[in-house]
């Protein structure tokens, strides 16, 4: 099913938003579009909606299973505005958003569905979930000049840290149960990354409600939804394993010639399994055993 504009989708395709969880995939280029969509379909999302330029192809089988909305520049403010319009159109539905070349992992996702996880999360009176954007990169940049390879994938096993998140409305005192998280390529190559883009935390899963708005830094205007846990115990978190930063660093003329390899002493092969991310402390099972 294809819709020519977001307006047409919200007018004629509202049924696709009625039952969640729904994955919103924003396609910036032609890199790993099909694998991104297939990965999230396999996680059990009720619908996967791809916002992408008309010129980008989709395999025949995905055209039958993917809702496609034509959007020529599905990034930056256009992406934020799109998510907010969908929130307003579908209160009560759980959503997840990502870009192509990004893959959601959550605890035990090999044997449990995204729907089961959101039901458990709601039972703990949690209506949003913190995710860490974990940078992926190809081991051999000579063989993979855009730094993307699903068969030769690396990630950093350490080098992650958190700082208190200051509250400008309260004399910059730390916000309760909120932290700014850093690490990965955005930390190692911070000279090429604008300061406001260096965080790796993202509230990537959430339940829509009236008045809710996503902000440019991937947090919401409801501060409780930006917390990493409730007041009484740790909660589930997830990981968005992403080639996006590596791809940008290697395709941007200002940084590509400074980087011959992303590998360092803390690089390890990515196993494409939630167990590895749990073992490395890159997501939290909370009380979900």
What pLDDT band is residue 232 in, cutting at 50, 70 and 90? confident
Percentage with pLDDT > 70 across the chain: 100
Question: pLDDT for 102-127, tens place per residue?
Answer: 999 999 999 999 999 999 999 999 99
Instruction: Supply 146's token pair.
Output: 């855009």
How far is residue 222 from each of residues 93, 214, 266, 280, measured CA to CA in Å?
A: 16, 9, 36, 30
* Segment 195-211 mean pLDDT: 96
User: What is the pTM assigned to this prediction?
Assistant: 0.96
Question: pLDDT for 146-163, tens place per residue?
Answer: 999 999 999 999 999 999
Q: For residue 251, what is the enclosing H or E element?
A: helix 244-251
pLDDT score of 78 more than 90: yes
How many residues can be counted in the chain? 289
Percentage with pLDDT > 90 across the chain: 93
What pLDDT band is residue 289 in, cutting at 50, 70 and 90? confident
* Segment 220-233 mean pLDDT: 94
pLDDT at 1: 84
Domains of the chain, by residue range, sit at 1-100, 102-289
Q: Is the peptide bond before 58 cis (omega within 30 degrees of 0)?
A: no
pLDDT at 90: 97
How far is residue 8 from each of residues 11, 58, 73, 203, measured CA to CA in Å?
A: 5, 20, 17, 27
Of residues 159, 175, 92, the one with CA closest to residue 127 = 92
Half-sphere exposure of 259 (CA within 13 A, CB side): 31
**Dist. CA 219–CA 215, nearest whole Å:** 5
Q: Which CATH class is domain 1-100?
A: alpha beta
Say if CB 24 and CB 95 are below 8 A apart.
yes
């Amino acid at each position: 099913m294809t819709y020519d504009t977001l307006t047409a989708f919200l007018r004629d395709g509202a049924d696709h938003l009625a039952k969640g969880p729904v994955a919103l995939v924003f396609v910036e280029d032609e890199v790993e579009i099909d694998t991104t969509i297939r990965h999230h379909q396999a996680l059990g999302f009720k619908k996967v909606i791809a916002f992408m330029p008309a010129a980008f192809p989709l395999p025949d089988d995905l055209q039958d299973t993917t809702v496609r909305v034509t959007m020529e520049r599905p990034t930056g403010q256009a992406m934020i505005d799109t998510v907010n319009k969908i929130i307003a159109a579908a209160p009560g539905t759980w959503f997840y958003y990502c870009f192509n070349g990004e893959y959601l992992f959550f605890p035990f996702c090999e044997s449990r569905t995204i729907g089961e996880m959101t039901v458990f999360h709601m039972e703990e009176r949690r209506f949003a979930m913190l995710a860490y954007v974990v940078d992926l990169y190809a081991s051999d940049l000579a063989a993979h000049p855009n730094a993307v390879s699903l068969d030769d994938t690396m990630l950093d096993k350490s080098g992650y840290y958190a700082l208190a998140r200051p509250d400008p409305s309260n004399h910059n005192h730390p916000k309760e149960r909120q932290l700014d998280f850093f690490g990965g390529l955005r930390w190692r190559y911070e000279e090429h990354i604008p300061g406001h883009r260096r965080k790796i935390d993202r509230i990537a899963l959430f339940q829509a409600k009236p008045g809710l708005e996503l902000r440019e830094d991937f947090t919401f205007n409801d501060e409780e939804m930006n917390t990493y846990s409730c007041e009484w115990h740790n909660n589930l978190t997830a990981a968005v394993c992403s080639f996006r930063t590596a791809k940008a660093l290697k395709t941007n003329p200002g940084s590509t010639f400074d980087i011959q390899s992303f590998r360092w002493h803390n690089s390890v092969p990515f196993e494409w399994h939630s167990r590895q991310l749990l073992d490395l402390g890159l997501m939290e099972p909370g009380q979900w055993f």
